[in-house]
């Protein structure tokens, strides 16, 4: 996906700012990279067994697409917090959808059971092939902006941030990687503060793709984020809404809340010691259109969501 220059953000920051348009992927988010890599690296016999994952929506959609392309079958376990437009797209791709509980942790229990019945687990972030697939974004950033100073990326379970950070810092160790997430239910932030993976309560959010835990048995993304992230920024719902509006009005891009958090962090002046050139990863565009219209027209929060 291309990196496009943002005249508005470059003017605001006084340094070049580019937008990495992962919202234009076939399945609407960066997740297609990791899912495709993971499916392709499975043994044929494992692909034939079928794959299972827990998802807040975008990984499930990507895995369903990648599995179908390789004549496999995906089962996606999700909580009731996942927006219905994402559930519908996953079903459209032929996956078996299981809606379980009100958190990713509850959905994970169903996925674990299905693994015991013979399916192959391909988790959304804590897996080497998933991380490597997302890391191709970092390689592309370096190809287009070899002197990149700062990469701003949404942060949830850490697969995207970890993959990009490894790729970028291997060639440009001085580049800064900034993770951005919502204020409430920020599992990686709570885990980093605690020094170990912890559970958090999940809340509805405009950045719904950033919800969910990182897994108490997290082996890869937690230690990678702890070492490789240079800063972590938290955003309110109104700040995320401002990012969505800016993306649409100024950049002509439709992005979901999780895809807008990098822009939102700049607009809120929450990134210290900003070093250019800057690349913001617009991670996804799978937003329910009625909600998007409401945000564009001035609503800061989804129905029932308190700031």
What tokens were used for 41? 């690296």
Residues 274 and 160: their CA atoms lie apart, in Å, by 21
The per-residue DSSP string of 162-216 comes to HHHHHHHHHH-TT-EEEEEEESTT-HHHHHHHHTS---------TTGGG-S---T
| Among 214, 141, 150, residue whose Cα is nearest residue 178 | 150
Q: Is 236 helix (H, G, I), strand (E, B) or coil?
A: coil
183: how many CB neighbours lie within 10 A of its CB? 16
Cβ atoms of residues 281 and 153 within 8 Å: yes
Q: List, by residue number, the catalytic residues.
A: 31, 283
């Amino acid at each position: 996906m291309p990196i496009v220059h943002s005249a508005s953000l470059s003017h605001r920051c006084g340094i070049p700012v580019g937008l990495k348009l992962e919202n234009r992927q076939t399945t609407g988010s960066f997740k297609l990279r990791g899912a495709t890599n993971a499916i392709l690296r499975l043994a044929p016999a494992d692909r034939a067994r079928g794959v299972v994952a827990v998802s807040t929506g975008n990984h499930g959609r990507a895995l369903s697409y990648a599995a179908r392309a390789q004549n496999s079958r995906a089962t996606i376990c999700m909580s009731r917090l996942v927006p219905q437009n994402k559930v519908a797209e996953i079903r459209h791709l032929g996956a078996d959808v299981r809606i379980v509980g009100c958190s990713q942790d509850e959905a994970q229990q169903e996925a674990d059971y299905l693994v015991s019945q013979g399916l192959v687990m391909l988790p959304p972030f804590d897996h080497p092939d998933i991380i490597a697939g997302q890391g191709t974004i970092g390689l592309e950033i370096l190809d287009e902006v070899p002197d990149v100073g700062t990469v701003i990326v949404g942060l949830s379970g850490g697969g995207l941030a970890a993959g990009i950070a490894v790729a970028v810092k291997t060639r440009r160790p001085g580049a800064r990687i900034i993770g951005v997430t919502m204020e409430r239910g920020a599992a990686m932030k709570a885990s980093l503060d605690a020094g170990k993976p912890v559970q958090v309560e999940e809340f509805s959010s405009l950045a719904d793709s950033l919800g969910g835990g990182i897994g108490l048995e997290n082996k890869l993304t937690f230690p990678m984020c702890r070492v490789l992230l240079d800063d972590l920024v938290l955003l309110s719902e109104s700040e995320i809404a401002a990012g969505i509006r800016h993306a649409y009005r100024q950049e002509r891009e439709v992005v979901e809340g999780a895809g807008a958090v990098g822009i939102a962090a700049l607009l809120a002046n929450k990134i210290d010691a900003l070093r250019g050139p800057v690349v913001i990863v617009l991670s996804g565009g799978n937003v329910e259109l009625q909600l998007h219209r409401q945000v564009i027209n001035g609503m800061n929060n989804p129905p029932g969501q308190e700031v």
